[in-house]
Amino acid sequence: MKTNHLHYIVLLATIFLGCSCSEEIEKELTTGKTAVTIEVDGEEDADSRTVSFTGGTAYGEGLYDGKERPTVGAEASDGYEIDYFYGGPSDEPQKYNYTGSGSSVSYQVFLNGKDHKFKCKFKEKKRTLTLTANPTSGGTVTGGGTYKVKTNIPITAVAKSGYTFSGWTVTKGDAKIMNASSASTTVQLQSSNSTLQANFKQSVTIINVSFKDEVLMGQLTRSVSVTSGHSATYTVYG
């Protein structure tokens, strides 16, 4: 009986010590600590204060003293931009709300002992390319649309009968044309929507007119420039 009694006392002591240690560890982890979590497009990673995702990096996640003011933010990778970034405590979930479409954002977060959760999403940086013809009767253009920035976009200009292509011009935006003098070339959109104009000019035909001058006893030749679609009259007075 004494042996059983002793085992019972040892068992109680073990349970008591085990509970005390667990409670002490838990208390050490949670007391005075405030959590900042960042969810990027539905994904969370609480193991690192800087987390990389497709399209960019979010930083500032982790456990902090409740009185700290950590910097929380996001940076988009090249070719991407921030779709949205917002967060805050549970009683003010959009206290910090970025509504732009830039490449970076950051906030100094006043925790005040409250856990904060942020949500972020990156998107491909796309812009619109518009193509026009000048004059509109001079030809047709193909290749306009919405594209990811800094990618090669093929564009083509085809002159109509009586016209020739004379070059591309950027009339709006910051697009970069690889070869502005070529009717078929590529262009890259940069940071803004852009408009390109294909320029056409009417073709000019040179006609040689020959006639015999009986006075001078010889044959004269004259050149006349005629724009396509037009006529010219050459009059000789004797």
Q: For residue 191, give the amino acid letter.
A: S
Looking at residue 51, its pLDDT comes to 73
Looking at residue 230, its pLDDT comes to 53
Looking at residue 86, its pLDDT comes to 97
Residue identified by tokens 């970076």 is 104
Using CA atoms, how far apart are residues 132 and 199, in angstroms rounded to an integer? 9
Tell me the sheet residues that pair with 209.
222
Domain layout of the chain by residue ranges: 32-124, 126-202
pLDDT in tens, the chain (238 residues): 444 444 443 333 333 333 333 333 233 334 468 999 998 875 555 455 677 778 999 999 999 999 999 999 999 999 999 999 999 999 999 999 998 888 999 999 999 999 999 999 999 999 999 999 999 999 999 999 999 999 999 999 999 999 999 999 999 999 999 999 999 999 999 999 999 999 999 987 666 655 555 555 555 555 555 555 555 555 555 5
Looking at residue 46, its pLDDT comes to 47
Looking at residue 72, its pLDDT comes to 97
Contacts of 19 (CB under 8 A, 6+ apart): none
Q: Is the dihedral of CA 105, 106, 112, 118 positive or negative?
A: positive
Token duo for residue 179: 């070869």
Using CA atoms, how far apart are residues 108 and 113, in angstroms rounded to an integer? 15
Using CA atoms, how far apart are residues 101 and 56, in angstroms rounded to an integer? 13
The model carries a pTM of 0.63
| Backbone dihedral region for residue 31 (phi beyond 0: left; psi -120 to 50: alpha; all else: beta) | beta
Q: For residue 193, give the amino acid letter.
A: N
Nearest Cα residue to 70 out of 115, 122, 119: 115
Output the CA torsion 159→164→167→171 (10° steps).
-60
